[in-house]
Amino acid sequence: MKENDNISCVVNNTKKRKLNTKKAKIAITLFILIIVYITYIFAKLLANPTATFIVEQGKIYKEEAQEGYIIRDEHMIEGDEQVGEMVQLKAEGRKVAKGEAIYRFSLENEEELNNKIEELDLKIQKALQEENTLFSSDIKLLETQIEEKLENVYENTNVMEVEHYKKDIITSITKKARIVGDMTASGSYVKQLISERSEYENQLNSNSKYVYSDRSGVISYKVDSLENTLTVGDFGYLNSDFLKSLNLKSGQIIASNNKKAKVIDNYKCYIASTSDTEEAKNSKVGDRIKIRLPNSEEIPSVIVHKAQDGDKIILVFEIEQSVESLINYRKIAFDIVWWSDSGLKIPNRAIQYDGKFAYVIRNRAGYEEKIIIKVLRQNDSYSIVENYSTAELETEGYDLNNLNSKKSISLYDEVLIKKR
């Protein structure tokens, strides 16, 4: 019995080995077929270097990357020579009015005075917190204003603006303290603190040398000594050698000055650049084009100056938008967008020519047909196209016998393009 079982076991093992061998052969055969198929497809692609593109509604540009020099109507504001550092009174890039104080020079004992004022502010706040008297609507209004300014401080990242909010908060707290001083039993103590604070503040203000703006505009403390070199008005002084001699780097931020400031015309500024493209050569003073700034914002501009400079063209663009965003810079990388157009968009490599007539090969379910198209606008990579009418083809002298039926290109059509 055991011998029969052994024989049966040997037979089963033999069958399993044959089955596994058969499966292995099938797997190897399938693998070889897959490799052959992939090789065939790859060879077919090499033999037939075409691909397809789905016609889309799109936009194309003709643009060029450039470096530009920022020219502004800048007026220097300088105070008398003083001992001490400049104390900025306005946030960089803020609008100022004529006659408004824009900076002052610090005193020798200014740090000591400020420390005493801060100590008194803390004492005043503590006295107010310990006072439980029900206050008038004036007090409640001041408290609301303080809370709003505190929220602005928390949300703001501009150091100068935060300092201004802090000053406004201290002013509101002082007003509140004066009212409390007249309404509460502890008023005499609060009044004493306010009186001491006022004395120190008067010392600080009365002995400081303030400098005022003599015109309205945008304040800037970033001075690079080019304010009287790159000037507005007659741009005839601009040429490639002059601009290169300035030795400026694109995107470099102008450093703040600790002795002087300037007021800038906030309505417009200018970008000067050189170009040797056909678009620049064919441009005219008065042409309106788009400028794309480093922050990708696209704004309108107008050419206000054009001059030949050897094989290059000197162009000056006037802009009236986003002027404040350029205050930090004297030289930027930007794009000149000469034109843009939208419509049915296809790659230039999909377009072929029959004499003067452009056409594409449309593929529908494997059936290829020739479609005559009108090229409206073209840049280096893409074209905006539309269909001819029969009347237009007749006027242009196209042999309509070559058209079996009126064919037209449509959105989402598949057209053949040649590979490079």
Which tens digits make up the pLDDT trace of 23-32? 677 777 777 8
Q: Is-contact 217 263, C-beta < 8 A? A: yes
- The answer to whether 70 and 326 have CB atoms below 8 angstroms apart is yes
Q: Answer for the pair 76, 227: CB distance below 8 angstroms, yes or no.
A: yes
For residue range 32-53, list pLDDT tens digits in order. Answer: 877 876 765 555 445 445 688 9
Q: What is the DSSP track for 376-403?
A: EEE-SSEEEEEEPPHHHHHHTT--GGG-
Strand order in the sheet with 217-220: 74-78, 260-264, 217-220, 95-96
Classified as helix, coil or strand, 271 is: strand
Using 70 as the pLDDT threshold, list the residues of the chain that sit under it. Answer: 1-20, 22-23, 37, 39-50, 81-83, 108-111, 127-188, 190, 204-207, 402-406, 419-420
**DSSP letter at 225?**
S
Helix, strand, coil shares, percent, the chain, to 5: 35, 30, 30
Question: From CA 173, how far away is CA 139, in angstroms rounded?
Answer: 10
Residue type, 315: L
Task: Write down the pLDDT at residue 55.
Answer: 93
Return the closest-CA partner of residue 277 out of 308, 244, 241, 313.
313
CB atoms within 10 A of CB 375: 15
Order the strands of the 86-88 sheet from edge to edge: 86-88, 101-105, 209-212
- Asked whether 306 and 314 are in contact (CB, 8 A), the reply is yes
Q: How many CB atoms lie within 10 A of CB 244?
A: 10
Q: Please tell me the distance from the alpha carbon of residue 358 to that of residue 374, in angstroms, as a whole number.
A: 7
- Give the model's pLDDT for residue 396: 83
CA-closest candidate to residue 276, choices 118, 66, 119? 66
pLDDT, position 11: 46
Check if the beta carbon of residue 331 is closer than 8 Å to that of residue 71.
no
